[in-house]
Amino acid sequence: MSPLYCNLTSLDVLSLSHNMLSGTIPRCLENSTSLSLLDLRDNYFHGIIPETCKNGGNLEMIDLSYNQLQGHLPRSLSNCKMLQVLAVSNNQLNDVLPSWLGSLPELRLLTLRCNWFHSAIGKPKNDMQFPKLQVIDLSSNNFTGELPSGYIFTWNSMKAINVNSTDVTFMNSQLDYNVSGTSSWLLLYPYGITITFKGVERYYTFIHDRFAAIDLSCNRFEGEIPILIGNLKALHSINLSNNMLTGYIPSSLENLKDLESLDISRNFLSGTIPQQLSQLSFLSIFNVSQNNLIGPIPQGNQFNTFDNTSFEGNPGLCGALLSKKCDNSKLLPPPASAFEKDDGDSVSQLKLDWKFLLAGYISGLVVGIVLSDFVIMRRYGRLVKIKRRRRDRRN
């Protein structure tokens, strides 16, 4: 790539994707303050990422995906206060997840998939991290530790659903150009991104303005799925597959009414599949295969359309869609315990049970004493009669 591009001091958009460009990315781009969009996706660039936004800037999108870039994410990117899209997937970057990424106030799309990012994800510095994040893709790296529940709590843009808006809009950058000082025209540059949605990896040229997704698959995350994930009501897709997650499937997922795809396969999850998930009417992809789940699979609505491969590798599961049918006698709810305080009458019921028990015990004791006396008296009378007969014979 020629450094002559850097001589274009008023350059707003630099889009050279899908070419066969090689070499390194010119360092002179570090000084560009007019550039709004940098798209070098799908080339053969190698080396490190330049210290972009070193002196601030107007960059709204950086897409360096599908190259051979190495090293770290430069700290200077924290100065890109207008940045909405950062896509560096399918490179050879070797780094931890930088904490400063959460301080980017406009960041909406973040994809770091297919690199060598590693280590546990720390706790956020405050509750204002990633305030506008809608899509995060950290898949196919070497992240460890527990899922970042601290960050999940701060992803406020994934919590809100604009039910009043009926407009179909897409994420884009709006560039206003003046022509001859008398007229102007507006350029809408859509944000595209490569993500795995509904089990298919593809490049989406347009991303719906309200689309929200989490992909943390193919790492080494462990621990339980946070219950807080049920607060992200704007989510359309969740992929946590191919990790080392344990514990139960949280029933809080029933709150995600817009969820279309849920993949938590190839983990070590246990327990049952929450029956409440059958209420997710938009769910078209559901995969819990290769876990340790037990019990009946939910019935009704979308669950009647899923293939049995969605549940394979869980010998304890049963259901109409599976070769193993459920034993209905085992599906009856267990009797309520006398010690469960489900309502205000449980305590009085417990006292009443003890009264009946005590009355039964006393009654049994009285009857037992009377019967024992009766038996003793019968035996004693019989013994007296026998002795009298013996005396009569002697006389």
Over residues 191-244, the pLDDT tens digits come to 888 888 888 888 888 888 889 999 999 999 999 999 999 999 999 999 999 999
Q: Are both 207 and 230 inside the same structural domain?
A: yes
Q: Are both 246 and 208 inside the same structural domain?
A: yes
Q: Is residue 296 part of a domain?
A: yes
Q: Is residue 268 part of a domain?
A: yes
Q: What is the mean pLDDT of the chain?
A: 81
Q: Are both 261 and 346 inside the same structural domain?
A: no
Q: Are both 214 and 361 inside the same structural domain?
A: no
Taking the C-alpha atoms of residue 217 and residue 254, their distance in angstroms, rounded to an integer, is 21
Which one-letter amino acid corresponds to residue 114? C
Q: Are both 138 and 264 inside the same structural domain?
A: yes
User: What is residue 333's predicted lDDT score, i.e. its pLDDT?
Assistant: 46
Q: For position 270, which CATH number holds?
A: 3.80.10.10
Q: Are both 170 and 212 inside the same structural domain?
A: yes
Number of Cβ within 10 Å of residue 31's Cβ equals 14
Q: Is residue 72 part of a domain?
A: no
Q: Are both 278 and 373 inside the same structural domain?
A: no
Q: Are both 304 and 348 inside the same structural domain?
A: no
Q: Are both 230 and 303 inside the same structural domain?
A: yes
Q: Are both 313 and 353 inside the same structural domain?
A: no
Q: Are both 168 and 261 inside the same structural domain?
A: yes
Q: What total number of domains does the chain contain?
A: 2
Q: Is residue 240 part of a domain?
A: yes
- Whole-prediction pTM: 0.80
Helical (H) or strand (E) element with 380: helix 345-394
Q: Is residue 25 part of a domain?
A: no
Q: Are both 248 and 307 inside the same structural domain?
A: yes
Kindly give, in sequence order, each residue whose CB lies less than 8 Å from that of residue 88, ignoring residues fewer than 6 positions away: 49, 62, 64, 65, 69, 73, 111, 112, 115
Q: Is residue 114 part of a domain?
A: yes
Give the domain range for residue 205. 94-330
Of 49-53, 144-148, 267-271, 336-340, least confident by mean pLDDT is 336-340
